[in-house]
Amino acid sequence: MSAGSPPLRFGVGDGRSAWVGRPTVGPRQAAAWSRHQEILTELRAIRGRAYPRVRALFREKSWLLFEILLPFLSTSAFVFVYRALAAPPEYIGFVVLGGAMTAFWLNVIWMMAAQLHWEKDQGNLELYFAAPIDLMSVLFGMAVGGLVMSGSRAAVVLAVATTVYGVTFDVGSWLLLGLVFGLTLAALYGLGMVLASLFLMWGREAWHLTQLLTEPIYFVSGLNFPVGRLGLLGALAISTIPLAVGLDAMRQLSFRGAPSFGTPPPEVEAAILVAMAVGFLAVARIAIRVLEGLARREGRLTLRWR
């Protein structure tokens, strides 16, 4: 440090960094990389955060039993409820589709929303804040890894249940169905990123809120029945919960002629999903910026068990 430079302190108000002695707001800026280096680092961060989730599929063998076979049996229980009631065959298809989509919702809740809270408990969160990467890359990495995990579970549930229970899909437009599926995942994981930030700020309540966001969300999203049957509650769910609107659109596209109970056509629901995906990602970005600021300014986000 030259004789004329001001003294360096952590967390100084004038934006000067203790790391390199020039005005920066965090490690990313302090690194002073080229655009190319920044992009490469962010991509590596995404890959690095996705890696343990993908590898976990092969390392934890119990996952096959508990995350694939048993959830299939759970879905089957609802199939037999409809069979006991002698319901029309498309209702069995509703259950199978809903059972496949629960894999993504559970992944969003357990492994996205609650994840930053757990990272804090484990002491990893402060490392994320100290690393020269964008926290959004960490969240994207978690989402990519989670998609691989939950996608395999959903595929198995869908394939096995379709075969075992003889579900016949009557798809009007595969292109639109694929688009709606992709948009649903984008909106779901965008919501997961928002919740991850909120749960981190809420602290210990986050754990219990994770519990609260399963069955009640299944109910208002119409997991095993057309959500339009819930009337106003269903309409509210369609306008706020990606699982509800995505499931309803996919049902309408997969089972032509099945009752929809007055919900919007799939094209409109696809537009709702686009708005949700963009909105959630934007809110997540803002929330992450706020969090980073809090973490650096007050330091309380890296304190465990709060």
Partner 1 sequence: MSTLSGSRWGAAGPSTLDPERVRGGGLGDALRAYLAAVRLGWATEANWTDPFLFFIYSVAKPVSAALILVVMVEIVGGEAGRAFRGYVVTGSALWSFVIAGISGLAWSVLDDRERYRMLRYLYVSPASFALLLVGRGTARLTVGAMGALITLAVGVVVLGLPLDPGRVDWPLLGVAMVGGLVAIVVIGILMAAVCLQTRQDSWSYPEAVAGSLFLVSGAVFPLAVLPQAVQLVGLATPLTWWLAGVRLALFPDGPSVVGGEGSAWALLSGSTAPTSVDIALALLTTGALATLAAAAVFRWSEHRARERGLIDQTSGS
Q: Interface residues with partner 1 (CB under 8 A)?
A: 52-53, 55-56, 60, 62-63, 66-67, 69-71, 73-74, 76-78, 80-87, 91, 106, 110-111, 118-119, 121-122, 124, 145, 204-205, 207-208, 211-212, 214-216, 218-219, 222-226, 229-230, 305
Nearer to partner 1, 227 or 270 (CB): 227
Nearer to partner 1, 159 or 212 (CB): 212
Nearer to partner 1, 56 or 290 (CB): 56
Strand partners, 16: 23
Least Å from the CB of residue 210 to partner 1: 9
- Residue 70, classified by CB atoms within 10 Å of its CB into exposed (0-12), middle (13-18) or buried (19+), is exposed
Give the integer Cα–Cα distance in Å for 252 and 286. Answer: 34
Nearer to partner 1, 77 or 286 (CB): 77
Least Å from the CB of residue 172 to partner 1: 22
Which amino acid, one-letter code, is at 147?
L
Q: Tell me the two tokens of residue 166.
A: 């003889």
Cβ–Cβ under 8 Å, residues 197 and 116: yes
Report residue 61: phi and psi, to 5°: -65, -30
What letter does residue 166 receive in the DSSP assignment? Answer: T
Least Å from the CB of residue 62 to partner 1: 5
Q: Which residue has the tokens 């996919």?
A: 250
Least Å from the CB of residue 20 to partner 1: 31
Nearer to partner 1, 8 or 198 (CB): 198
Q: Tell me the two tokens of residue 215.
A: 């069955």
Least Å from the CB of residue 193 to partner 1: 18
Give the integer Cα–Cα distance in Å for 139 and 51. Answer: 13
